[in-house]
Amino acid sequence: MTATTDGSTGALPARADSASETDAPFPQAAGTVGTQDAAEHAMRRATDFLLSRQDAQGWWKGDLETNVTMDAEDLLLRQFLGIRDERTTHAAALFIRGEQRDDGTWAAFYGGPGELSTTIEAYVALRLAGDAPHEPHMAKASAWIREQGGVAASRVFTRVWLALFGWWRWEDLPEMPPELIYFPKWMPLNIYDFGCWARQTIVPLTVVSALRPVRPAPFPLDELHTDADDPNPARSLAPLVSWDGVFQRLDKGLHGYRRVAPRRLRRAAMNAAARWIVERQENDGCWGGIQPPAVYSIIALHLLGYDLQHPVMREGIASLDRFAVWRDDGARMIEACQSPVWDTCLATIALADAGVPADHPQLVKAAEWMIEEQIDRPGDWSVRRPQLPPGGWGFEFHNDNYPDIDDTAEVVLALRRVGHRDRERAEQAIARGVRWNLGMQSRNGAWAAFDVDNTSPFPNRLPFSDFGEVIDPPSADVTAHVVEMLAVEGLAHDPRTRRGIEWLLSEQEADGSWFGRWGVNYVYGTGSVVPALVAAGVPGAHPAIRRAVGWLEGVQNSDGGWGEDLRSYAYAKEWSGRGASTASQTAWALLALLAAGEKESKAVERGIEFLARTQNEDGSWDEPYFTGTGFPWDFSINYHLYRQVFPLTALGRYVNGEPFTGAEGS
């Protein structure tokens, strides 16, 4: 039984059957005639579509869709600051209502099950918009919330938002003292033990937690509690012999410390946190190019006396509007962040694979824009690598504090495919990027997304950390992209590259797949690792490659495509490689199979035909499913450009062949 699009059954999907204008040339290649013709036709249409979507400045950016908590929290922030207006409220409510499922809930991803915290935040936002509790869609939502345990069963972040308005008691939330800012980097639970996304959020929240503000609630929320007379039921402690028990008692100790904390020390710590926050504000007013840290930073600074007209506050609030996507129906969707660097390098690679000439004006313009985006100053990453010169790329328009290893690898791969006007300048940018990525290798030989050796087990144990991943350990997909880049740069036999290859081989699952940290999931991991290993000289006959091919062939859907539901993160191997076929996930599987030398296989032929058959007349593909990952299972992403760039890359490599062969031998 295939999972329904509304996620109502939760059943496992069935296993697969066993079996713009450009004058770029599109050379012929061997293969099944019908499939070859279909692939060439689909590739041409997809190329024209993608070229037509480039911004005049040279970048591409698709919408980055998450879930309605972004929209709900935006309204709650505006309510807290006293700046909520009717137009914004109406547009946000229109979007939130449109995302409600038939059972009254809101999901964390398309086709997923109802999610308690998401549903609570959406419900409260609609209450702010004027929706009455007795209206059918609201009554259905509140009844479901009570059935799931009410507000008391929601995540910490949801209860923090409710505490801001007196709907939850601050004393019943985990304590995060601002004195954390003083912990040296060698001390457990210092702020650099957290992943950069968590660090940017936790520092301002220590200020909010210390001050415990309450704004007058505009209405009661009794209907969201299982017992309105006891809305904050006491929680039982885990046994002391367990890690949960240890950290729960640590939290109780921190609550006790709050009562005796020296005032001057606490005030100094909050001021230090404020300086830390302000120093990390980007040039466009945001923080880290992502919405959640911006929201909490604005609240923290406001509580410390920054009025709304202060330049830091004014620019911070203005930056939030740049996360808004206004739709034709008048609805307003908030992006958690924006992905122009990532989208642009992937689009450049796709177009180059499709045969667009290296000196095509649009590729040259994209390369020039990417070079301008290279980061030339230290950021938080330099705490662990103080001697490493900068040279990475971020994900967003403005994020100089947090370049990431994945983007840097893919940008280098993209720049390598373009004929630059100023070759020396391009080579210098590439060299800086390669040097920075090599310097960010973790001690186990692999690479994480933002930091080096960010693997402390303690941050995830905190009662506060129930909102998803809060550390940044190395992952197979990021490591694969770095290894692929290093191979293209002629460094396949460099000892650092070989360590990365050894780590990847050691991380292969027993069934032949690889776990995908930043994309869903085993299909993404496998689609990233196999091309990297082959580029680095691992032969297609290697047992690891053959196991990966066998796994991909085994999970191909009966329609010829591949898909994987996000439940593969929550329910492990039960959902591995299972889900409705999507264009992006089909492309990932094809990239692995093509790299492994399987072009003539039936699996590749069926996959290519799936892409050609499901393509729209304008050269695009539809893809409502979320195939990107922020935090596995907890926070999922639909990158709207994934459905364009990855299918085009796969079609291009099918028609034109692999763009490189990599080093010889294993």
Residues contacting residue 394 through CB under 8 Å, at least 6 positions apart: 289, 341, 373, 375, 400, 402, 403, 404, 407
Contact in structure between 346 and 328 (CB atoms under 8 Å): no
- d(C-alpha 418, C-alpha 362), whole Å: 10
Would you call 406 a catalytic residue per the annotation? yes
Three-point CA angle 344, 427, 54, nearest 5°: 20
Alpha-carbon 501 to chain mean position: 24
Of 565, 468, 490, 463, nearest to 523 by C-alpha is: 565
What tokens appear for 192 in the block? 């650099």
Residues facing 64 on adjacent strands: 639
Strands 324-326 and 635-639: unpaired
Do residues 563 and 625 touch, judged by C-beta distance below 8 A?
yes
Q: Which residues, at least 6 apart from 412, have a Cβ–Cβ distance to it below 8 Å? A: 430, 433, 434, 437, 485, 488, 489
- If residue 630 lies in a helix (H) or strand (E), which one and from where to where? strand 628-631
- The radius of gyration of the chain from alpha carbons, rounded to an integer in Å, stands at 25
Per the structure block, which two tokens stand in for 247? 């950290």
Phi, psi of 337 (to 5 degrees): -160, 180
Beta-carbon contacts of residue 115 (< 8 Å; ≥ 6 apart): 67, 105, 106, 107, 108
345 three-state secondary structure: helix
The active-site residue out of 343, 353, 380, 406 is 406
Question: β-strand 64-65 against 332-334: which pairing, if any?
Answer: unpaired
Asked if residues 335 and 73 have their Cβ atoms less than 8 Å apart, the reply is no
Phi/psi for 336 (5° steps) reads -65, -35
Instruction: Return the HEC string of 459-473.
Output: HHHCCCCCCCCCCEC
Of residues 530, 555, 544, 74, the one with CA closest to residue 298: 74
370, 345 Cβ separation under 8 angstroms? yes
225 within 8 A of 151, measured Cβ to Cβ: yes
Strands (E), 252-385: 324-326, 332-334
* Burial annotation 208-231 (CB, 10 A radius, 16+ → b, else e): bbbbebeeeeeeebebbbbeeeeb
The first and second tokens of residue 634, run together, are: 């907890």
The answer to whether residues 55 and 38 touch, using CB atoms and an 8 Å cutoff, is no
**Which residues lie across from 398 on neighbouring strands?**
none
CA-to-CA distance for 402 and 404, rounded, in angstroms?
6
The sign of the torsion formed by the CA atoms of 197, 200, 205, 208 equals: negative
Cα-based angle 543, 544, 550 (whole degrees, multiple of 5): 85
Q: Coil, strand, or helix at residue 425?
A: helix
Could you give the count of Cα atoms lying within 13 Å of 167 in the half-sphere of its Cβ? Answer: 24
Greatest CA separation found in the chain? 78
Instruction: Report the distance separating Cα 613 and Cα 615, nearest Å.
Output: 6
Catalytic residues: 406
